[in-house]
Amino acid sequence: MLQKIKSLAKQYAPEFIEVRHHLHAHPELSYQEFETSKFVQGKLKEFGIPFEIKATTGVIGLIEGKNPGKRIIALRADMDALPIKEENDIVYKSKNEGVMHACGHDVHTTCLLGASKILNELKNEWEGTVETDLSAGRRKKSGRCQPADQRRRIGKPRTFFDFWFTCSSRPEHWQNELSSRQSNGQR
Amino acid sequence: MASADELYITIKGKGGHAAAPHFCIDPILIASHLIVALQQIASRNNNPHNPTVLSITSFQGGSTTNVIPNEIKLKGTFRAMDEQWRFKAHGLIRKMATDLVHSMGGEIDLLIDVGYPSVYNNESLNDLARKKAEEFIGPKNVEETEPRMGAEDFGYYSQEIPGCFFRLGVMNEKKGITSGVHTPTFNIDENAIETGMGMMAWLGSSVNFGSVSI
């Protein structure tokens, strides 16, 4: 399975680099991710993954493997951009003046779409259900996320994974914040 | 990552001639005392093992050299990694600000705008995800980081459902890709996309809860 995923990730990387270029060139601010939302819905349709819309622009995809009730995992990415005027000299520079994917949510969304395609393609080879949560804006106060009410059909995921970007590390690097363990959260 | 709450404080005094402070209630001096005093909470009330930050980031009021203004507006941020401490600290901030300003003759409006909770990485999931990452990209490419006091709305998810939040490396000095997030020149080494999508797919397909308590 690991080798299959690695090989599909390698095979699909050029396709998803193009996806990222499209998203990067068309950034939208929080809760205004209308075109982005349509774009990711189009991609999920193309991959044959069912989805539902949440908080106007949020898109929740559902990929069922074998024995879908065995366990449910959610993978999350966000889609909104920042009010920053891009200064990069690149062909896929922001076409939306004064708005830029300066927090990497274009990459975040791209990686989750890429993972969705891979998971869907291999769905006869893994067990459980994966929910892909492309969430609506996050920098405003209201309705930032509603993680609980989206799972009528199969129930609530038992866990969530998400990632962010580190500019202190090489692209093959993956960091986890050990000390977050020390944070005395509620569990 | 930390919780992030915004502080909005207005200190109302009584303006007048700067050469006659005894006829005034000087909100600038009161605000200055308050800024220093609030650090008491971060450095004395808080357990040193518990990361917390209180930063006053805006001090506005007055416009010239010879007038004491009527009021000062302060803004700031309060960050924490422990939800219990977080709300206890809100009470301490309110009490200190109110008592200190009143003791100096001023009035105060204080708003603590409650923002994202801290991102809590479930310990078992963290270990499991680390193992999965090591399988995917090799142990030498997986590292643990210090806690950061930035904030992230994934905190809402992780307070409700056990979660794990990672970081994906995107910098490449050799290619000159070094700008940080939130800058106009931020970009990534696009090799990271293959790692990011593959790793998410690997986690999604292979994490089982049989061996972990969450």
pLDDT in tens, B183-197: 999 999 999 999 999
Could you tell me if B140 lies within 8 Å of chain A, comparing CB atoms? no
Q: CA torsion sign, A98 to A103 to A105 to A110?
A: positive
In the structure encoding, which two tokens stand for residue A48, read together? 């044959």
- In B70-148, the DSSP E strands lie at 71-80, 107-113, 142-144
User: Does B142 sit within 8 Å of A176, measured CB to CB?
Assistant: yes
In the structure encoding, which two tokens stand for residue A66, read together? 């074998």
| CA torsion, ordered B65, B67, B70, B71, to nearest 10 deg | 10
pLDDT for res A178: 43
User: Does B120 sit within 8 Å of A183, measured CB to CB?
Assistant: yes
DSSP state of B35: H
Could you tell me if B47 lies within 8 Å of chain A, comparing CB atoms? no
The verdict on whether B190 is a catalytic residue reads yes
A137, A80 Cβ separation under 8 angstroms: yes
Higher-pLDDT residue of B41 and A161 is B41
Which chain A residues contact residue B157 at CB under 8 A?
74, 76, 145, 147, 160, 162
The verdict on whether B157 is a catalytic residue reads no
pLDDT for res A122: 96
Which chain A residues contact residue B53 at CB under 8 A?
none
Closest chain A C-alpha to B17 CA, distance in angstroms: 41
Distances (CA, A) of A55 to A58, A99, A141, A147: 6, 21, 13, 11
Candidate from A16, A172, A183 with C-beta closest to B82: A183
pLDDT at B111 over 70: yes
DSSP chain A: -HHHHHHHHHHHHHHHHHHHHHHHHS---TT--HHHHHHHHHHHHHHT--EEEETTTEEEEEEE-BSTTS-EEEEEEE---BS-------TT--SSTT-B--SSHHHHHHHHHHHHHHHHHTTTSSBSEEEEEEE---SSSTT----STT-TTT---SEEEEEEEETTS-TT-EEE-GGGGGS----
User: Does B191 sit within 8 Å of A12, measured CB to CB?
Assistant: no
- What percentage of residues in chain B have a pLDDT greater than 70? 97
pTM: 0.81
Rounded Cα distance between B57 and B5, Å, is 13
pLDDT in tens, A142-182: 334 444 344 444 455 555 666 655 544 555 555 555 433 33
- The amino acid present at A129, given as its one-letter code, is T
User: Does B187 sit within 8 Å of A171, measured CB to CB?
Assistant: no
pLDDT in tens, A5-27: 999 999 999 999 999 999 999 99
Higher-pLDDT residue of A183 and B189 is B189
Which chain B residues contact residue A163 at CB under 8 A?
165-168, 196, 199-200
pLDDT for res A72: 82
Question: What integer is the mean pLDDT of A59-63?
Answer: 90
User: Does A177 sit within 8 Å of B82, measured CB to CB?
Assistant: no
Question: What integer is the mean pLDDT of B132-147?
Answer: 86
3-state secondary structure (DSSP) of residue A125: coil
Helices (H), B18-82: 27-40
Average pLDDT taken over every residue of chain A:
80
Q: Supply the ipTM of this predicted assembly.
A: 0.84
In the structure encoding, which two tokens stand for residue B169, read together? 């490396």
pLDDT for res A58: 85
Residue pairs spanning A and B at CB distance below 8 A: 333
Question: What integer is the mean pLDDT of B127-136?
Answer: 88
